[in-house]
Structure 1
Amino acid sequence: MNATQVRPTGTERTFGEDEIIVTKTDTRGVLTYANEVFLRISALTEDEAIGQPHSLIRHPDMPRAVFKLLWDTLKERKELFAYVVNLASDGAHYWVLAHVTPSFDAHGKVVGFHSSRRKPEPAAVSAASALYQRLRAEERRHTSTPQALDASWKMLQQTLADREQTYEQFVWELTNGGRT
């Protein structure tokens, strides 16, 4: 499946409160493991998923700035919690509260990444979606990808500064039922 060929249908898919989506990747973000819940929700077979970049499920409504934050955090060998909308292979979308962590070998070397995702609360999705829509609108104002990323990154940083929060604090506020 090529993510550029899949168009969002507007159909939202969900999963159970007690289910966890789990994937593992190598250091380049290529899928090395996907559990049954991931395969079912993303409408992929194991053969279609394993060996593909995790960006296979990237939804076009996800702002580049959030992925920059993710990769910057992982490069620092730290974990990140984030609200993410993903795109299934059949065009459906699904929101998750993702927890992404580096995986280390016995010598402390990063050998990949592990992501566990839970079903988010609707109010948290609504708030994250509103922020992401503003960031994507800013990205669309620019013709080059680097300019779009830079602009949305600055907007994200300014939004968080105005709120006197880090992204992590923003996520936890939403997770714990806070207002935006």
Structure 2
Amino acid sequence: MLAKSLSDLTEVFLNTDDLIISKTDLKGRITYANRTFMRIAGFDEEDLLHQPHNMIRHPDMPKGIFKFLWQELRQGHEFFGFVKNYTADHGFYWVFANITPDFDAAGHVQGYFSVRRRPSSDAIKTIEPIYQKMIDIEHRYSRANACTHSLAFLEQLLESQQVSYERFVMQLQAS
């Protein structure tokens, strides 16, 4: 189980039909946030716009997941995954995220578009211990190498199950 603190006493749950939508520039700064994002995260629009999206990143999230996310996006691929975020009052919420490159008319990536929805509770029960192991691995290495080692752990886990990352998270979400 992931380490819990007093701030983690307040979990916000998305409704089944909630869609959190945001757009960022190429550096991950928020250029658009829908009302659902503001309501769930507890931030006003002026508190979100032009801020780095990682301002809501919860420390229970392994850096290796974000290394993988950025690798996928830089290759022009979309990313699916489970993400734990902070709220403005330091509570938290889980999402199943889909992040895609946002292309301009000439086909150049101009930013990223993200749609997040309520994750399956069974998926979160499965992903939390994996994320905790990744964080434990990250703590054993220097900052420069931590992401690489935790991502290698995830890749070995997926290889042992003979499943791609995308198929793994999609199966979890469908559970």
Structure 1-normalised TM-score? 0.91
- Aligned residue pair count: 170
1:56 alignment partner AA: M
Gaps of 5+ in 1: 1-6
Amino acid at match of 2:130: L
**Which amino acid in the other structure matches residue 161 of structure 1?**
E
TM-score by length of 2: 0.93
Give secondary structure in 2 for the equivalent of 1:156: helix
- The offset of 1:62, in angstroms, is 0.5
Which region of structure 1 is more displaced relative to structure 2, 144-153 or 103-112? 144-153
Q: Secondary structure at the match of 1:68?
A: helix
After superposition, what is the alpha-carbon deviation per residue over 1:92-151, rounded to whole angstroms, capped at 9, x for unaligned? 110000010000010000000000001011101111112111111111122x21121122
Give the structure 2 partner of residue 114 of structure 1. Answer: 113
Q: Deviations over 1:75-99 (max 9, x none)?
A: 0111111111111121111000001
Other-structure match for 2:40: 41
Distance 1:118 1:9 in 2: 20
After TM superposition, which residue ranges in structure 1, 4 or more long, deviate above 4 angstroms?
none
Q: How far apart, in 1, do the equivalents of 2:10 and 2:139 lie? A: 23
Q: Which moves more between the two structures, 162-171 or 101-110?
A: 162-171
Deviation of 1:166 after TM superposition, in Å, equals: 1.3
Q: Measure, in 2, the Cα distance between the counterparts of 1:158 and 1:118.
A: 27
Residue 163 of structure 1 is matched in structure 2 by 161
Paired letter, 1:165: V
Aligned to 2:50, what secondary structure does the other structure show? Answer: coil
User: Secondary structure in 1 aligned to 2:149?
Assistant: helix
In structure 2, what is the equivalent of residue 123 of structure 1?
122
Instruction: Mark the runs of 5 or more structure 2 residues left unpaired by the alignment.
Output: 1-5
What is the root-mean-square deviation of aligned Cα atoms in Å? 1.1
Which stretch of the first structure deviates more once superposed, 102-111 or 168-177? Answer: 168-177
